[in-house]
Amino acid sequence: MKHKKIIDQVAGKVKQQLEHEGPGHDWWHVFRVWNMAQRLAKKEKVDLFVVELAALLHDVADWKFHGGDEKIGPRVARKMLLAEGVDEEVVIHVCEIISTMSFKGAKVKTKMASREGMVVQDADRLDAIGAIGIARAFAYGGHKGSLMYNPDQQPVMHKTKEEYFKGSGSSVNHFYEKLLLLKYQMNTPMAKRLANERHQFMKKYLDRFFQEWAGKV
Ligand code: ADP
Ligand code: NI
């Protein structure tokens, strides 16, 4: 009961904070990740309280939008959790998850240390692929001022997170630099299954995109 109250409080605060965020990181992304994380957690032996809190807080104060300070997300999350009276042990676990889970380039490893982290990372990554993932990529690309596609520009398999975050490729290149790689990086069996389907959908979409680009269909 106490846990439910805390989750509701945190969800309310995150919603308020992200309501006016740009595309990609709006409240509804967090809402979907929260929902999917709960679904995946049912099949895993995990602490649901930790999973829900990490899902809700994983994008608060995303450092990409806050002057590049990587520590700011976990710091804001920590403050919020302590204000709700969450135990230190849980706070540490949640902050550890949110500071390690994000994608940082095709060749950069981001292995999670706990089952709870694996579930939340899977839920976040599922939201980056499939129909929603396609919409998010073009929305984010538009927000950044990237081209939708540039046939003269090859995708880059980034070796460091610095290179990855500096990248200024087209939205279609983002599929090759991240989205089409995610199905191979899922942690849990259920996410692997869902990712496979979403992956197929993206491939079909890209096939069609290139056919239309070439004026074939
Ligand atoms: P996440 O919330 O999955 O950690 P990010 O914060 O990296 O994702 O990015 C938010 C959304 O924008 C994701 O769906 C991601 O795939 C997409 N995105 C990130 N970088 C780019 C880019 N350079 N071009 C197009 N879409 C991008
Ligand atoms: Ni996210």
**Ligand 1 center–CA 140 separation, angstroms:** 7
Q: Considering only CA atoms, which of 182, 160, 178 is closest in space to residue 170?
A: 178
- Which pLDDT score is estimated for 24? 64
Quote the pLDDT of residue 67: 56
pLDDT of residue 68: 60
On the question of pLDDT at 167 being above 90, the answer is no
Task: With beta carbons less than 8 A apart as the criterion, state whether 10 and 84 touch.
Answer: yes
Distance 178 CA to ligand 1 centre (A): 9
Give pLDDT, residue 83: 96
Does ligand 1 lie within 6 Å of residue 174's CB atom?
yes
* Phi-psi region at 118: left, alpha or beta (left = phi > 0; alpha = psi -120 to 50): alpha
Coil, helix or strand at residue 39: helix
What pLDDT, in 10s, does the model give residues 31-44?
A: 999 999 999 999 99
Confidence of residue 151 (pLDDT cuts 50, 70, 90): very high
Predicted confidence at residue 139, as pLDDT, reads 95
- The rounded Å distance from CA 94 to ligand 2 centre is 14
Structure tokens at 127: 């939201």
Number of neighbouring beta carbons within 10 Å of residue 88: 10
Length of the chain: 217
Distance separating alpha carbons of residues 40 and 150, to the nearest angstrom: 37
Q: What is the pLDDT of residues 50-94, one digit of tens each?
A: 999 999 999 996 655 555 666 788 999 999 999 999 999 999 999
Ligand nearest to the CA of 180: 1
Closest to 131 (Cα-Cα) out of 46, 200, 69 = 200
Q: Which residue has the higher pLDDT, 1 or 9?
A: 9
Question: What is the model's pLDDT at position 105?
Answer: 93
- Choose among 81, 82, 77, 83: nearest CA to 99: 77
127, 139 in Cβ contact below 8 A? no
- Work out the pLDDT band at 19, boundaries 50, 70, 90: confident
Nearest Cα to 7, choosing from 80, 61, 73?
A: 80
Q: What is the token pair recorded at 31?
A: 């809402």
Ligand 1 pocket check for 78: Cβ under 6 Å: no
Nearest to 153 by CA among 167, 165, 143, 134: 167
Q: Would the pLDDT of 169 be above 60?
A: yes
124: Cβ below 6 Å to ligand 1? yes
143 pLDDT exceeds 70? Answer: yes
